[in-house]
């Protein structure tokens, strides 16, 4: 492989390699490459730091590093709060699924509440995802309902968003 001759080429190559590692499901390798891409990111890049952090969080979660994934989701949430980026907040809230740790699930649940408020009704793709995650991370010991979770959400999720479909079905299974 030819050596890149400048920083933007190095970033582009690293980004391509990170995407390839993710596609191959080589998540441990992808984590290293996403970290490298973040360190190489400059203001002229067409990719935002938030997008790279979200990819890093997903790779960390898939690699089994739930603590690192959650820390990265919190970093995305901090940026999203400061910029009022509802989409990034919603994406950060939906990265981790099926979390068995009650304390972590409660933190994800709180992030889902904030994301739902930021989204309002503005994003018909992310809102079902976040609502399903909100229901899935709710405490079995606290009977708090923010909305009625019913089969109507499944039809929203079936518009071609497998993440929303998975989260919705997972939440429906836990509610019944």
> Could you tell me if 101 and 66 lie in one domain?
no
pLDDT tens per residue across all 176 residues of the chain: 445 458 788 888 999 999 999 999 999 999 999 999 999 887 666 788 999 999 999 999 999 999 999 999 999 999 999 998 999 999 999 999 888 888 899 999 999 999 998 888 888 888 888 988 888 887 766 655 555 554 455 555 445 666 666 666 665 555 43
The answer for residues whose C-beta is within 8 angstroms of residue 109's C-beta and 6 or more apart is: 134, 137, 138, 139
> Could you tell me if 174 and 100 lie in one domain?
yes
> Could you tell me if 49 and 33 lie in one domain?
yes
> Could you tell me if 160 and 119 lie in one domain?
yes
> Could you tell me if 25 and 104 lie in one domain?
no
> Could you tell me if 71 and 90 lie in one domain?
no
The answer for residues whose C-beta is within 8 angstroms of residue 174's C-beta and 6 or more apart is: 135, 136
> Could you tell me if 97 and 56 lie in one domain?
no
> Could you tell me if 59 and 33 lie in one domain?
yes
Residue of 176, 175, 22, 171 lying closest to 98 (CA atoms): 171
Domain tally for the chain? 2
d(C-alpha 77, C-alpha 71), whole Å: 10
> 53: how many CB neighbours lie within 10 A of its CB?
24
> Could you tell me if 70 and 125 lie in one domain?
no
**Which residue segment(s) compose the domain that 160 sits in?**
84-176
């Amino acid at each position: 492989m030819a050596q890149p001759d400048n920083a933007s080429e190095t970033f582009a190559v690293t980004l391509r390699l990170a995407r390839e590692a993710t596609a191959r499901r080589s998540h441990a390798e992808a984590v290293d490459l996403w970290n490298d891409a973040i360190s190489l990111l400059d203001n002229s890049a067409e990719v935002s730091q938030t997008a790279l952090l979200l990819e890093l969080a997903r790779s960390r979660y898939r690699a089994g590093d739930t603590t690192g994934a959650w820390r990265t989701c919190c970093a995305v949430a901090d940026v999203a709060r400061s910029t009022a980026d509802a989409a990034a907040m919603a994406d950060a809230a939906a990265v981790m699924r099926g979390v068995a740790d009650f304390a972590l699930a409660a933190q994800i649940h709180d992030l889902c509440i904030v994301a739902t408020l930021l989204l309002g009704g503005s994003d018909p793709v992310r809102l079902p995802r976040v609502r399903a995650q909100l229901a899935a991370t709710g405490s079995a010991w606290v009977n708090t309902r923010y909305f009625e979770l019913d089969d109507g959400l499944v039809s929203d999720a079936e518009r071609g968003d497998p993440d929303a479909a998975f989260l919705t079905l997972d939440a429906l299974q836990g509610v019944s």
